[in-house]
Amino acid sequence: MTEQFEFTTTEEQTDAVDTSVFGEDTRAEAKQIIARYPESRSALLPMLHLVQSVQGHVSPAGMKFCAEELALSVAEVSAVATFYTMYKRTPCGQHLVSVCTNTMCAALGGDAIYKTLGEHLGVGHEDTAGEPGTEGSITLEHAECLAACDLAPVLQVNYEYYDNQTPEQALELVKALQRGEKPKPTRGPELSDFRGAERQLAGFFDDLDETVTGSSQAIETNRGAALAQERGWIAPSMPDDAELPPVPEKK
Protein backbone atom coordinates (compact mmCIF):
# COMPACT_ATOMS: atom_id res chain seq x y z
CA MET A 1 0.00 0.00 0.00
CA THR A 2 1.48 3.36 -1.00
CA GLU A 3 2.07 6.02 1.61
CA GLN A 4 -0.61 8.42 0.39
CA PHE A 5 -3.35 5.84 0.93
CA GLU A 6 -2.04 4.08 4.03
CA PHE A 7 -4.52 5.86 6.29
CA THR A 8 -7.54 5.08 4.08
CA THR A 9 -7.26 1.31 3.90
CA THR A 10 -10.25 0.69 6.15
CA GLU A 11 -13.17 2.68 7.49
CA GLU A 12 -11.93 1.95 11.01
CA GLN A 13 -8.56 3.59 10.30
CA THR A 14 -10.22 6.60 8.70
CA ASP A 15 -12.66 7.03 11.57
CA ALA A 16 -9.79 6.96 14.07
CA VAL A 17 -8.17 10.10 12.59
CA ASP A 18 -8.63 13.09 14.95
CA THR A 19 -9.66 16.36 13.25
CA SER A 20 -9.96 18.44 16.43
CA VAL A 21 -6.94 20.54 15.36
CA PHE A 22 -9.39 22.34 13.08
CA GLY A 23 -11.32 24.50 15.51
CA GLU A 24 -14.58 26.37 15.17
CA ASP A 25 -12.95 29.35 13.42
CA THR A 26 -11.43 27.10 10.77
CA ARG A 27 -14.69 25.24 10.28
CA ALA A 28 -16.52 28.54 9.86
CA GLU A 29 -13.96 29.63 7.25
CA ALA A 30 -14.37 26.30 5.48
CA LYS A 31 -18.07 27.00 5.15
CA GLN A 32 -17.27 30.44 3.71
CA ILE A 33 -15.08 28.79 1.08
CA ILE A 34 -17.74 26.22 0.20
CA ALA A 35 -20.36 28.95 -0.19
CA ARG A 36 -18.35 30.45 -3.06
CA TYR A 37 -19.12 27.51 -5.34
CA PRO A 38 -22.33 26.11 -6.82
CA GLU A 39 -20.95 22.58 -6.28
CA SER A 40 -19.32 22.02 -2.91
CA ARG A 41 -16.65 19.65 -4.26
CA SER A 42 -15.29 22.57 -6.33
CA ALA A 43 -14.03 24.08 -3.07
CA LEU A 44 -11.49 21.30 -2.50
CA LEU A 45 -8.37 23.14 -3.74
CA PRO A 46 -8.78 26.23 -1.51
CA MET A 47 -9.87 23.96 1.33
CA LEU A 48 -6.54 22.15 1.11
CA HIS A 49 -4.76 25.50 1.27
CA LEU A 50 -6.81 26.32 4.37
CA VAL A 51 -5.64 23.04 5.93
CA GLN A 52 -2.03 23.97 5.18
CA SER A 53 -2.50 27.38 6.77
CA VAL A 54 -3.38 25.59 10.02
CA GLN A 55 -0.94 22.66 10.01
CA GLY A 56 1.76 23.65 7.54
CA HIS A 57 1.02 20.58 5.40
CA VAL A 58 -1.84 18.31 4.36
CA SER A 59 -2.07 15.61 7.00
CA PRO A 60 -4.45 12.62 7.21
CA ALA A 61 -6.50 14.76 9.60
CA GLY A 62 -6.59 17.53 7.01
CA MET A 63 -7.81 15.16 4.33
CA LYS A 64 -10.51 13.76 6.58
CA PHE A 65 -11.58 17.30 7.53
CA CYS A 66 -11.95 18.25 3.85
CA ALA A 67 -13.81 15.03 3.12
CA GLU A 68 -16.29 15.63 5.92
CA GLU A 69 -16.92 19.27 5.00
CA LEU A 70 -17.34 18.52 1.28
CA ALA A 71 -19.18 15.17 1.53
CA LEU A 72 -16.37 13.40 -0.31
CA SER A 73 -14.51 10.20 0.45
CA VAL A 74 -11.02 10.51 1.94
CA ALA A 75 -9.72 8.66 -1.13
CA GLU A 76 -11.15 11.38 -3.39
CA VAL A 77 -9.43 14.08 -1.34
CA SER A 78 -6.19 12.11 -1.25
CA ALA A 79 -6.21 11.71 -5.03
CA VAL A 80 -6.22 15.49 -5.43
CA ALA A 81 -3.83 16.29 -2.58
CA THR A 82 -1.20 13.86 -3.89
CA PHE A 83 -1.49 15.09 -7.49
CA TYR A 84 -0.56 18.75 -7.00
CA THR A 85 2.94 19.64 -5.80
CA MET A 86 1.82 22.68 -3.83
CA TYR A 87 0.16 20.43 -1.27
CA LYS A 88 2.89 19.19 1.06
CA ARG A 89 2.72 15.76 2.64
CA THR A 90 5.19 16.57 5.43
CA PRO A 91 5.30 19.69 7.65
CA CYS A 92 6.84 22.72 5.93
CA GLY A 93 9.28 25.14 7.43
CA GLN A 94 8.42 28.73 8.25
CA HIS A 95 9.50 29.51 4.71
CA LEU A 96 9.21 27.51 1.49
CA VAL A 97 12.09 28.32 -0.86
CA SER A 98 11.37 27.24 -4.45
CA VAL A 99 14.26 27.41 -6.92
CA CYS A 100 13.38 27.31 -10.61
CA THR A 101 15.46 24.66 -12.37
CA ASN A 102 13.61 24.61 -15.69
CA THR A 103 15.50 25.19 -18.94
CA MET A 104 15.97 28.97 -18.96
CA CYS A 105 16.73 29.33 -15.27
CA ALA A 106 18.95 26.24 -15.24
CA ALA A 107 21.01 27.57 -18.16
CA LEU A 108 21.47 30.92 -16.44
CA GLY A 109 22.39 29.54 -13.02
CA GLY A 110 19.33 27.97 -11.42
CA ASP A 111 21.05 24.63 -10.92
CA ALA A 112 23.99 26.35 -9.24
CA ILE A 113 21.61 28.24 -6.94
CA TYR A 114 19.80 25.05 -5.94
CA LYS A 115 23.11 23.26 -5.30
CA THR A 116 24.44 26.16 -3.21
CA LEU A 117 21.31 26.34 -1.05
CA GLY A 118 21.12 22.57 -0.66
CA GLU A 119 24.71 22.40 0.55
CA HIS A 120 24.23 25.30 2.95
CA LEU A 121 21.01 23.91 4.43
CA GLY A 122 22.14 20.30 4.30
CA VAL A 123 18.86 19.21 2.70
CA GLY A 124 17.48 17.93 -0.58
CA HIS A 125 14.23 18.41 -2.47
CA GLU A 126 11.24 19.02 -0.13
CA ASP A 127 13.43 18.54 2.96
CA THR A 128 13.37 21.00 5.84
CA ALA A 129 16.29 22.59 7.65
CA GLY A 130 15.27 23.27 11.25
CA GLU A 131 12.15 22.27 13.15
CA PRO A 132 9.17 22.65 10.78
CA GLY A 133 7.10 25.71 11.55
CA THR A 134 9.62 27.33 13.90
CA GLU A 135 11.25 30.67 13.14
CA GLY A 136 14.04 30.40 10.60
CA SER A 137 13.13 26.89 9.43
CA ILE A 138 13.28 26.45 5.67
CA THR A 139 11.90 23.87 3.27
CA LEU A 140 13.82 23.72 -0.02
CA GLU A 141 12.40 22.53 -3.31
CA HIS A 142 13.31 22.75 -6.96
CA ALA A 143 10.42 24.04 -9.07
CA GLU A 144 9.80 22.93 -12.63
CA CYS A 145 8.90 26.44 -13.83
CA LEU A 146 8.07 29.69 -12.04
CA ALA A 147 6.87 31.50 -15.21
CA ALA A 148 9.43 34.29 -15.07
CA CYS A 149 11.88 33.40 -17.84
CA ASP A 150 12.46 37.09 -18.62
CA LEU A 151 13.90 37.50 -15.11
CA ALA A 152 15.84 34.24 -14.89
CA PRO A 153 17.22 32.81 -12.76
CA VAL A 154 14.46 33.25 -10.19
CA LEU A 155 13.38 31.73 -6.93
CA GLN A 156 10.34 32.19 -4.74
CA VAL A 157 9.93 32.37 -0.99
CA ASN A 158 6.37 31.48 -0.02
CA TYR A 159 5.43 32.14 -3.66
CA GLU A 160 6.85 35.68 -3.74
CA TYR A 161 9.48 36.41 -6.41
CA TYR A 162 13.18 37.12 -6.07
CA ASP A 163 14.40 37.83 -9.60
CA ASN A 164 17.78 37.80 -11.37
CA GLN A 165 19.42 35.81 -8.62
CA THR A 166 22.98 34.57 -8.29
CA PRO A 167 24.12 31.76 -5.97
CA GLU A 168 25.65 34.40 -3.70
CA GLN A 169 22.48 36.51 -3.56
CA ALA A 170 20.29 33.47 -2.96
CA LEU A 171 22.57 32.29 -0.15
CA GLU A 172 22.41 35.69 1.58
CA LEU A 173 18.62 35.65 1.22
CA VAL A 174 18.35 32.24 2.87
CA LYS A 175 20.73 33.24 5.66
CA ALA A 176 18.54 36.29 6.33
CA LEU A 177 15.45 34.07 6.51
CA GLN A 178 17.24 31.83 8.99
CA ARG A 179 18.00 34.89 11.15
CA GLY A 180 14.28 35.67 11.28
CA GLU A 181 14.42 38.49 8.75
CA LYS A 182 12.01 38.89 5.83
CA PRO A 183 13.85 40.50 2.89
CA LYS A 184 11.55 42.38 0.53
CA PRO A 185 10.68 40.47 -2.63
CA THR A 186 11.69 41.93 -5.99
CA ARG A 187 8.04 42.45 -6.83
CA GLY A 188 4.75 42.36 -4.98
CA PRO A 189 3.88 42.76 -1.28
CA GLU A 190 5.96 42.25 1.83
CA LEU A 191 6.99 38.69 2.57
CA SER A 192 4.67 36.50 4.63
CA ASP A 193 5.47 33.11 6.11
CA PHE A 194 4.35 29.85 4.49
CA ARG A 195 1.20 29.45 6.55
CA GLY A 196 0.25 33.08 5.95
CA ALA A 197 0.68 32.60 2.21
CA GLU A 198 -1.48 29.48 2.36
CA ARG A 199 -4.22 31.45 4.10
CA GLN A 200 -4.19 33.94 1.24
CA LEU A 201 -4.35 31.10 -1.30
CA ALA A 202 -7.43 29.87 0.55
CA GLY A 203 -8.96 33.29 -0.15
CA PHE A 204 -8.55 35.07 3.19
CA PHE A 205 -6.78 38.43 3.24
CA ASP A 206 -6.66 39.70 6.81
CA ASP A 207 -4.98 42.95 5.66
CA LEU A 208 -5.96 43.39 2.03
CA ASP A 209 -4.36 46.82 1.60
CA GLU A 210 -1.00 45.50 2.76
CA THR A 211 -1.33 42.34 0.68
CA VAL A 212 -1.80 44.18 -2.62
CA THR A 213 0.92 46.80 -2.13
CA GLY A 214 3.85 46.78 -4.49
CA SER A 215 3.86 46.31 -8.24
CA SER A 216 3.90 42.80 -9.64
CA GLN A 217 5.26 44.10 -12.95
CA ALA A 218 8.88 44.27 -14.03
CA ILE A 219 10.65 46.42 -16.65
CA GLU A 220 11.77 43.31 -18.50
CA THR A 221 8.22 41.94 -18.69
CA ASN A 222 6.84 45.16 -20.14
CA ARG A 223 9.72 45.84 -22.54
CA GLY A 224 7.92 44.46 -25.58
CA ALA A 225 4.85 46.63 -24.96
CA ALA A 226 7.09 49.67 -24.38
CA LEU A 227 8.95 49.11 -27.65
CA ALA A 228 5.67 48.76 -29.53
CA GLN A 229 4.43 52.04 -28.09
CA GLU A 230 7.69 53.87 -28.83
CA ARG A 231 7.78 52.66 -32.43
CA GLY A 232 4.09 52.82 -33.20
CA TRP A 233 3.69 49.10 -33.73
CA ILE A 234 0.14 47.82 -33.63
CA ALA A 235 -1.41 44.43 -34.26
CA PRO A 236 -3.33 44.28 -37.54
CA SER A 237 -7.06 44.44 -37.09
CA MET A 238 -9.34 41.71 -38.38
CA PRO A 239 -11.59 42.77 -41.29
CA ASP A 240 -15.28 42.76 -40.48
CA ASP A 241 -15.90 40.37 -43.39
CA ALA A 242 -13.09 37.93 -42.48
CA GLU A 243 -14.08 34.34 -43.23
CA LEU A 244 -13.92 32.19 -40.14
CA PRO A 245 -13.17 28.46 -40.25
CA PRO A 246 -16.18 26.18 -39.91
CA VAL A 247 -17.07 24.83 -36.49
CA PRO A 248 -16.28 21.10 -36.38
CA GLU A 249 -19.29 18.85 -36.16
CA LYS A 250 -19.83 17.05 -32.89
CA LYS A 251 -19.52 13.30 -33.17
Domains along the chain with CATH numbers: 24-83 (1.10.10), 95-193 (3.40.30.10)
Q: Which of 119, 27, 135 is closest to 127 using CA atoms?
A: 119
* pLDDT at residue 11 greater than cutoff 70: no
Helix (H, G, I), strand (E, B) or coil at 95: strand
Q: Of 73, 102, 77, which is closest to residue 89 (Cα–Cα)?
A: 77
37 pLDDT band (50/70/90 cuts)? very high
**Three-class DSSP category at 122:** coil
Percentage, residues of the chain above pLDDT 90: 75
Spatial distance between the Cα atoms of 178 and 175, rounded to a whole number of angstroms: 5
- C-alpha dist (Å) from residue 231 to 127, 225, 228, 235: 49, 10, 5, 12
For residue 124, CA distances in Å to 2, 75, 165 come to 22, 29, 20
Residue 66 annotated in ligand binding = no
- What does the pLDDT look like over 194-204, one tens digit per residue? 999 999 999 99
Q: How confident is the model at residue 8 (pLDDT cuts 50, 70, 90)?
A: very low
Strand order through the sheet with 138-143? 127-129, 138-143, 95-100, 155-157, 160-162
- Extract the runs of DSSP E, i.e. beta strands, from the chain: 95-100, 127-129, 138-143, 155-157, 160-162
Number of C-beta neighbours around residue 25 at 10 A: 9
- Mean pLDDT over all residues of the chain? 91
Asked if residues 195 and 204 have their Cβ atoms less than 8 Å apart, the reply is no
105 is in an annotated binding site: yes
Band of residue 57 on the pLDDT scale cut at 50, 70, 90: very high
CA 202 to chain centre: 11
Q: Can you give the pTM of this predicted structure?
A: 0.84
Pick the range with the lowest mean pLDDT from 20-29, 145-154, 238-247: 238-247
Model confidence pLDDT, tens digit, residues 60-95 = 999 999 999 999 999 999 999 999 999 999 999 999
pLDDT confidence of residue 185: 94
What percent of the chain is predicted at pLDDT more than 70?
94
